Structure 1
Amino acid sequence: MKFIEVTIIIFYILFCILLGIWAQKRISTSDSGVDNYYAAGRNVGTVANSLAILAALGSGGSFMAGPGSVWQLGIPFLTWMTVGSIVGFALASILVARPLRNSRKVTVPEFLNDRYGGNKIIKIAVPIVIILGSGMYLMSQMKAGGLITSYVTGLSYEWGLVVIALVFILYVSMGGMLAVTWTNLLQGSLMILITLSLFTACIIHLPTSWMDFFKESATRNPTLGTVGTTVPIVGYLGAFVTWATAVCITPHLVMRIFTSTDARSAKLSLNISMLIYGILMLGLTFLTAPFIGTFGEAVLQNYASDMWLLLIAESMFGPIMMGIIAAGIMAAVMSSTDSLLLAISSAVAYDLYKGVINPKANQKKTLFMSTVVTWIIGIVVMVLALNPPEYLVVLYTVQ
């Protein structure tokens, strides 16, 4: 067990749980508990929301699995995917931000239901699509959480998954979007900190110039920089289109628009987070991927590709910094997991239960249903994640 790393992560997790308890108390004493639970009171500022959006998108698949996926699938694939997500942010700021924020709704299905005059099919179908799609995405984040917990505690992947999944479920079920927003601020800041730290460390530890180092790595692994070797060229276009459209419609990202103070703030938040995300993802990929070639074949075979970033960091940092990095990667995982859990619970409790099954349900019943659903969905996905697909990035791109 890595005691220093474990201690840092425990303090981080306790902080998230305390935020959940604080948010629960605030919601329970508020007359606008539903707005607080699902939209964080609609008063999140531009800078705070930019960090929260960055945290929601910057998942375990982005920051933890990126370098390993690039080594296996090639830089062109991840580059097209990342550029697609950047384009998606711009489209969302132009096409989605203003109508959603000005609608005064709290969920995407509620907005669409109002937009199309209460169509019964839309009222039922949209929440179901959100539940299924977000559930698959959530499974990839659960896997990342299990891997990082296993790394710092020495537990098996399965027990690491169970431990961290219960933490995810606990603080989301207590505090909803209010708790998610405050934890996302910390998570977004941690993600920027560890990425910049890795940038600096990689530059310091370059054995030669970066260009020569990359060429050497590409010689060891010809698929690293070639086009069409591991993924058909049409697959690159598919990754681009998928992410350019996904950002505009992915519920756990779009829900952040409802939390903005106004439409202008929502637009700015999307574009600021777009710039930061693009720089961090592309920089992290191009700087860290060549270091994978320095590992022996035995190391690469004994560790899942989603763990290789941690191996790179471990070769450059001591225990204290590794604890911070592990907490930062955990933050990336938690930030997407909590947003996804909230998107699913709101689809079930607010859109299906209150919107279709029991329209007369009061605030107390709706919030109680959200809590119950969060636990049920969280545990079901946790069980499914005990035997997940191999690549995190591919898992949530193709689902």
Structure 2
Amino acid sequence: MRATEISIIIVYILLCILLGFWAQKKISSSNSEIDNYYAAGRNIGTVANSLAILAALGSGGSFMAGPGSVWQLGIPFLSWMTVGSIVGFALASILVAKPLRNSKKVTVTEFLTDRYDGSKAIKIAVPIVIIMGSGMYLMSQMKAGGLITSYVTGLSYEWGLVIIALVFILYVSMGGMLAVTWTNLVQGFLMILITLTLLCASLIHLPTAWGDFIKETTVQNSNLGTVGSTVPIAGYLGAFVTWATAVCITPHLVMRIFTSTNARSAKLSLNISMLIYGILMLGLVFFITPYIGTLEETLLQSHASDMWLLLIAESFFGPIMMGIIAAGIMAAVMSSTDSLLLAISSAVAYDLYKGVINTKADQKKTLWVSMVVTWFIGLVVMLLTLNPPQYLVVLYTGAVGFMVAALFSSMVLGIWWKHANVQGAITSILVGGISFLISFFIFDMPYNSEILIALPLSFLTMITVSFYTERPSKEILKKMENYHSNKAEEGISNESIKKVT
């Protein structure tokens, strides 16, 4: 057991729980509990939201598992994925940031329901997609949390998973998006600090010139830099397309757009996050991964590849710094986990329960259901994660790919194409989601390439069905104009200023 590391981790976890209690108290005293719980009062500034978005995307699968995944799957695969994420932030800032923020909604389902004339089928189908996709994504984060807790405490992976899962569920169920936002600020700052610290240490401990070190590493692991050696080209393209489209629809990222003070702030936050995320990830790939070749083979074989970053850090630092690094990696894991838990609970409690089952439910009852759902979903996913898949990065990319295949065309075309209608949206969700699942579970396809079939089918269905069925009503077209209106943006900005003053 690592006493120093455990002490630092405990202090960090207690901070997160205290923030959860504080957020719960603030929400309970507010006149607008729903807005505070799901959208943090729509009052999060640009810098704070940039860190929160970075934290929500920078998961255990990227920051913790990145170097090990690169060593196993090759630099080209992770590079395409990282570049896709960078492109995704830019696309989201152009395609969806302003319309989503101007809509004054709090969830993806609520926005799509509003756009598609209150369709009950949309109200039901979209939350189901979010629950399935975010649940798969959540498994990867809980696995990472279990690994890091096991590393620090010396307990088995299973006990590490149980301990950290209970912490995740506790503070999210108490404080919702307000708690998630404040913990994300801490987590985003820690992720930047720890990654930069690791990069500096890697430069200080270079055994030879960096260029020579890279060359020696590629000789030792010939698959590291060879295109197509570990994953077919289709897998690269699929990973790129998945992450280039993910930010536009992934609920735990889209919900951060709803928390922005205004549309301009949402756009700027996305682009700042894009820049920081790209620098940190590429730094890990090219400066930390070569050190895996310096570790003993027996050590690598006795630990999951998702933990190899910790083994490298151990060769650089002593117990105190390792405790801080462990807390930073835990922050990366927690930042995605809490956002995903909130996305799932909102899909069930706000979208399905309040939106379909009990439309007259008041704020307190809806929030109570949300807390119950957070515990239920969290515990179910925890049990499923006791026997997780091998690669975190492949699991969560597959989860995101499913949500993209189902929702991207209805979201983007719904914002920008006046012909997009209810019939087209419903059929595209069904065709995109089902074709992805069939490709994923039935056919033996390269990692993450299913999106290359499912997304075009979803778009084709959306366009064809919408074109040959009834055009949207004048009321819907007016809503579309409001999504893009500068006056709506200014109105939201003025409303936010009034809240502050």
Q: Distance in 1 between matches of 2:389 and 2:352?
A: 30
By relative contact order (CA 8 Å, sep 6+), the higher-ranking structure is 1
SS of the counterpart of 1:355? helix
Q: State the AA in 2 paired with 1:2.
A: R
Q: Structure 2 matches for 1:152-191, cutoff 5 A?
A: 152-191=152-191
Q: Determine the structure 2 residue equivalent to 1:309.
A: 309
What residue in structure 1 maps to residue 361 of structure 2? 361
- Distance in 1 between the 2:75 and 2:249 partners? 26
Q: 1:7-156 to 2 correspondence within 5 Å?
A: 7-156=7-156
Once residues 132 and 201 of structure 1 are traced to their aligned partners in structure 2, the CA distance between those partners, rounded to angstroms, is 40
**Separation in structure 2 between the aligned mates of residue 71 and residue 228 of structure 1, nearest angstrom:** 14
Give the gaps of 5 or more residues in structure 2.
400-501
Q: Which runs of 5+ in 1 are unaligned?
A: none
Structure 2 equivalent of residue 202 of structure 1: 202
| Cross-structure match for 2:422 | none
Structure 1 residue 342 corresponds to structure 2 residue 332: no
Q: How far 1:76 moved relative to its partner?
A: 0.1
Offset of residue 376 of structure 1:
0.1
Deviations 1:4-60 (A, max 9, x none): 000000000000000000000111111100000000000000000000000000000
The CA deviation at 1:398 is: 1.9
Q: Name the TM-score, length of structure 2 as normaliser.
A: 0.79
Aligned: 1:279 with 2:298: no
State the alpha-carbon separation in 1 of the partners of residues 252 and 398 from structure 2: 17
State the alpha-carbon separation in 1 of the partners of residues 135 and 73 from structure 2: 25
Tell me how far 1:388 sits from its aligned partner. Answer: 0.1
Deviation at 1:151, TM superposition (A): 0.4
Q: Which amino acid aligns with 1:81?
A: M
> What RMSD over aligned residues (CA atoms) do the two structures have, in Å?
0.5
Task: Say which one has the larger Rg.
Answer: 2
Shift of 1:381: 0.1
Measured in 1, the distance between the counterparts of 2:82 and 2:369 equals 36
Identity of aligned residues (%): 83
Q: TM-score under structure 1 normalisation?
A: 1.00
Structure 2 match to 1:235:
235
Distance 1:16 1:398 in 2: 29
> What amino acid is the match of 1:105?
K
Residue 61 (structure 1) shift: 0.3
Q: Distance in 1 between matches of 2:219 and 2:11?
A: 43
Post-superposition offset of 1:119: 1.1
Q: How far does the alpha carbon of each residue in 1:73-101 deviate from its partner, in whole angstroms, 9 at most, with x for none?
A: 00000000000010000000001100110
Q: Distance in 1 between matches of 2:300 and 2:395?
A: 20
Give, in whole Å, the separation in 2 of the partners of 1:106 and 1:392: 29
The letter of the residue matching 2:215 is K
Letter in structure 1 aligned against 2:18? L
Give the drift of 1:202: 0.2
User: What letter is aligned with 1:168?
Assistant: F
Counterpart amino acid of residue 215 in structure 1: K
- Mapped partners of 1:351, 1:105: distance in 2: 11
Give the Å deviation of 1:234.
1.4
Structure 1 residue 284 displacement after superposition: 1.0
